């Protein structure tokens, strides 16, 4: 048996106006006066406590080897590299890492410098995922981002110099006011960087965010579906020309090896333990999730109390729906024999409209064409409802 660890870091220096992730500024948590290294050491000690709990929980079986670790956020690059090193060492000591264990750290360009990049590499981080979003100054301002393009270049150069082999960036497209020229500017910039992977997400206007309030008040307008589809086509074409091929709807890599192994565990229904406030876990069809507030999470661990906020065991039909929802987003798609007769009829309709690949279907797989990728959500709804 193998397992992956997701380790949530719930801190950011400033909240971006579009983001509703479970993340906080130290001031929001009443830790405004506490130094950054103290915050890191206190929080990462709690993380290590949860890792010990995971080991106890799994002890009845032979402890699994760890194939991937993903420090996600929030902003994991705010943590002290020594705390990241201790956490990785703890996991290795208790569970043991596979020799080629993929260890990713999400980073904000403003938080990386010569010292900490060297420290993260030394700790064992071999993949970095950098939040870039756009290279256009107006779009960056609408998104509330604080970084400059030069910080992105510098951060990735440091990753290269320190031998961090996996280098990915996140882009966001469809920001209100983003022209096609501004998108092209971001793509030119992205493709000039020393990266092997890119994630490009359509901007989601999340309820409760500053962006949602600006949209509701009419201050800014969101793009329509046609504009989003045009932008997706442009992104896919530019990446293809540069040798980056899609392997999941929002993810492109320039080699098989550069694909995110951690994310593939999620998409293929594998097992992972999510450590940290609000983190979700999945083991053998059972899911659970932790309490959301970081301070309550740390206090519960300190006092030997439960950190679990909820759990569910997936029924066979829920598992099958989930396989469809995730699998359809993958280049490899879904095996035809996973589908029921009634779902095959839905597929036939989409083959007729050229959203599903006829020849792959004839060979036993449901995979989407470019046209299908643009309406993947609609196809999923028709298949699982």
Nearest alpha carbon to residue 286 among 310, 267, 307: 310
- Shortest approach of ligand SAM to residue 26 CB, angstroms? 15
Binds ligand SAM (CB under 6 A): choice among 40, 75, 168, 214: 75
Name the one residue in this structure whose structure tokens are 């400059």.
Answer: 148
Q: How far apart are CA 93 and CA 124, in angstroms?
A: 14
Q: Verify binding: residue 151, ligand SAM, rule CB under 6 A.
A: no
- Shortest approach of ligand SAM to residue 146 CB, angstroms? 10
Q: Which residues contact 74 (CB under 8 A, 6 or more apart)?
A: 8, 9, 10, 11, 12, 21, 22, 23, 106
- Shortest approach of ligand SAM to residue 250 CB, angstroms? 9
Nearer to ligand SF4, 295 or 376 (CB): 295
Question: How, if at all, do strands 65-73 and 97-107 pair?
Answer: parallel
Instruction: For 10-94, list the strands marked E by DSSP.
Output: 65-73
Per-position x/- string for 120-159, each x denoting binding to ligand SF4 as judged by CB under 6 A, each - no binding: -----------x----------------------------
Nearer to ligand SF4, 7 or 101 (CB): 7
- Shortest approach of ligand SAM to residue 286 CB, angstroms? 26
Q: How far apart are CA 275 and CA 198, in angstroms?
A: 25
Q: How far apart are CA 318 and CA 245, in angstroms?
A: 30
Nearer to ligand SAM, 6 or 95 (CB): 6
Q: What letters, b where the CB count within 10 A reaches 16 and e where it falls short, cover 213-228?
A: ebeeeeeeebbeeeeb
Nearer to ligand SAM, 164 or 355 (CB): 164
Enumerate the β-bridge partners of residue 69. 5, 103
Q: Verify binding: residue 73, ligand SF4, rule CB under 6 A.
A: yes
Does residue 162 have a cis bond before it (omega within 30 degrees)? no
Q: Verify binding: residue 211, ligand SF4, rule CB under 6 A.
A: no
Q: Verify binding: residue 26, ligand SF4, rule CB under 6 A.
A: no
Region near ligand SAM per CB under 6 A, out of 51-59, 92-100, 199-207, 216-224: 199-207
Instruction: For the chain, list the strands marked E by DSSP.
Output: 2-9, 65-73, 97-107, 127-133, 166-173, 197-202, 245-248, 251-253, 272-275, 280-283, 286-290, 308-313, 334-335, 365-366
Identify what 203 binds: ligand SF4, ligand SAM, none; CB under 5 to 8 Å per kind.
ligand SAM
Q: Verify binding: residue 281, ligand SF4, rule CB under 6 A.
A: no
Nearest alpha carbon to residue 95 among 122, 58, 44, 120: 58
Q: How far apart are CA 224 and CA 209, in angstroms?
A: 20
Nearer to ligand SF4, 47 or 368 (CB): 47
Per-position x/- string for 101-120, each x denoting binding to ligand SF4 as judged by CB under 6 A, each - no binding: -------x------------
Counting every residue written for the chain, the total comes to: 385
Identify what 322 binds: ligand SAM, ligand SF4, none; CB under 5 to 8 Å per kind.
none
What is the number of alpha carbons within 13 Å of residue 359 lying toward its C-beta? 1
Nearer to ligand SAM, 186 or 343 (CB): 186
- Shortest approach of ligand SAM to residue 73 CB, angstroms? 4
- Shortest approach of ligand SF4 to residue 275 CB, angstroms? 17
Number of residues that bind ligand SAM (CB under 6 A): 17
Binding positions for ligand SF4, rule: CB under 6 A: 12, 15-16, 19, 21, 23, 73-75, 108, 131
């Amino acid at each position: 048996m193998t397992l992956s660890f997701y380790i949530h870091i719930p801190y950011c220096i400033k909240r971006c106006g579009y983001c509703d992730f479970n993340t906080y500024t130290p001031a929001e948590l009443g830790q405004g006066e506490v130094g950054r290294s103290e915050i890191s050491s206190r929080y990462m000690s709690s993380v290590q406590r949860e890792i010990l709990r995971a080991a106890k929980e799994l002890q009845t079986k032979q402890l699994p080897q760890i194939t991937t670790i993903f420090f996600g956020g929030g902003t994991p690059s705010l943590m002290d590299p020594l705390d990241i090193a201790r956490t990785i060492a703890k996991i290795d000591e208790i569970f043991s890492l596979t020799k080629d264990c993929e260890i990713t750290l999400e980073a904000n360009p403003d938080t990386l410098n010569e010292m900490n990049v060297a420290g993260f590499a030394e700790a064992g981080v071999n993949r970095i995922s950098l939040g870039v979003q756009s290279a256009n100054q107006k779009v960056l301002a609408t998104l509330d981002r604080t970084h400059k393009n030069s910080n992105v270049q510098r951060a990735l150069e440091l990753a290269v110099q320190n031998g961090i082999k996996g280098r990915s960036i996140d882009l966001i497209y469809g920001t209100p006011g983003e022209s096609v020229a501004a998108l092209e500017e971001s793509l030119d910039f992205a493709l000039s960087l020393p990266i092997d992977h890119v994630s490009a997400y359509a901007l989601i206007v999340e309820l409760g965010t500053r962006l949602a309030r600006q949209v509701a008040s009419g201050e800014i307008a969101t793009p329509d579906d046609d504009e989003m589809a045009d932008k997706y086509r442009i992104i896919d074409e530019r990446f293809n020309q540069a040798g980056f091929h899609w392997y999941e709807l929002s993810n492109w890599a320039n080699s098989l090896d550069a694909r995110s192994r951690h994310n593939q565990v999620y998409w293929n229904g594998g097992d992972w333990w999510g450590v940290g406030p609000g983190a979700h876990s999945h083991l053998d069809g059972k899911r659970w999730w932790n309490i959301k507030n970081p301070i309550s999470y740390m206090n519960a661990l300190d006092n030997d109390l439960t950190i679990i906020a909820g759990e569910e065991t997936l029924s066979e039909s829920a598992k099958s729906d989930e396989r469809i929802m995730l699998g359809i987003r993958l280049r490899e798609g879904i095996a035809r024999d996973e589908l029921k007769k009634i779902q095959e009829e839905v597929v036939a309709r989409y083959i007729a409209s050229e959203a599903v690949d006829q020849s792959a279907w004839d060979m036993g797989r449901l995979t989407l064409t470019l046209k299908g990728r643009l309406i993947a959500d609609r196809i999923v709804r028709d298949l699982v409802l």
